[in-house]
Amino acid sequence: MVFKDKVIWITGASSGIGEHLAYAFSEQGAKLILSSRNLQELTRVKQNCSQPDSIRILSLDVADFEQVPTIYQQVKEAWGTPDILINNAGISQRELVKDTAFLVDKKIMDVNFLGTVAVTKAVLPDMLVQKSGQIVVISSVMGKIGTPFRSAYAASKHALQGVFRGVGRAHG
């Protein structure tokens, strides 16, 4: 059980990849912090995990950048600095550029890119001080290519690729 007692914070944990990561890490005995905007769905995920007593749920909209440091402080109060941060929160889009409202483009960048950066910038200094920790960023093949109906989504994933290649190489 490689992840037994590891502290893992998963954003976007109320559905999809994040939900299933929660189940897998719970099976391994990890201490989890599950975050998303949907508290009701987070509660459902926690209840469906094999070890719900080792899980804390914290409501978080990663696009509410001012909220991120406060939520991270609650993460530390629950289990300490995470051993692993899984940046999974994200939204998608399927629409031609000409038909996509600018506010949709902005929202996608705020959630998928800037939200991930904000959460990482909250956690990274503590990981550097303790000289341990892993940061996982869920991206997509869209981080490598673009298609007519996924332009803003692809742009947000391209941005993640650029920033986190730098973080991985320079440790900060």
Cα gap 168→112, rounded to integer Å = 18
Helix (H) or strand (E) holding 129: helix 116-130
For residue 86, the 8-state DSSP code is E
Cα gap 92→107, rounded to integer Å = 10
For residue 26, what are its two tokens? Answer: 């719970």
Helix (H) or strand (E) holding 117: helix 116-130
Among residues 9, 79, 153, 164, the one annotated as catalytic is 153
Non-local CB neighbours of 94 within 8 Å, separated by 6+ positions: 149, 150
Let me know if 153 is a catalytic residue. Answer: yes
Type of residue found at 116 = T
Place of tokens 């550029």: 97
By the 10 Å C-beta count (0-12 exposed, 13-18 middle, 19+ buried), 147 is classed as: exposed
Q: Of the candidates 111, 118, 122, 121, which has an alpha carbon nearest to the alpha carbon of residue 63? A: 111
Active site residues: 153
